[in-house]
A and B are shown apart, each in its own frame.
Chain A
């Protein structure tokens, strides 16, 4: 049973809990990061997660949504991110689908060991951090095939975080 959102915000196109899963459609707006995070926190509130697991889930959400909006989308376009969040025994699974540029985060440059403050990398830290915080990550490049809403995702990323 869909439970529609009552308070649409700039960053969120739609939000619902369907069969126990959180389903979000996020707009191509920086506000989507914080607006979506608030929905995630509401969804997780009843799930008795520890502080560390809760924090990891927020980090994974922030990093991946931020990465898509900053690097995968054309600025000010009507592109969107569809996020599904499902709580399973011992883990929470995110599925991110977007119609941005094809990008496989599993092919991103891995983080280099931090050996000195002078040489430490300051960019591109997000994806390696997500990889380390996640139990599994699975990427699929999708053949564009619009659904009835017109959404035709190029990327699907499934990330499981142990709880």
Chain B
């Protein structure tokens, strides 16, 4: 790495020294609890569409916790946060639009 990159890496490392260990333990515990809730809900005989919605909702919360805290995106500058997340979400939305007729079938016919 050149001097500029080393200086930036040093600044990033300095910022990370202030992150608290307890916060990561809480996130880990929350992720485990949500996984437990998912497994519990699996055996509650819910309608598949309702279960899918709840499970995907919980997965999105878990993903946000991992990206925000473990991957440190929460601590990045807003330009970094917006460009990375918006581009991925836009591509995934495009995939959803491409598969819309089938996505629509989930709502109207239910998951088989």
- Are A and B genuine complex partners? no
Residues in B lying within 8 Å of A, measured CB to CB: none
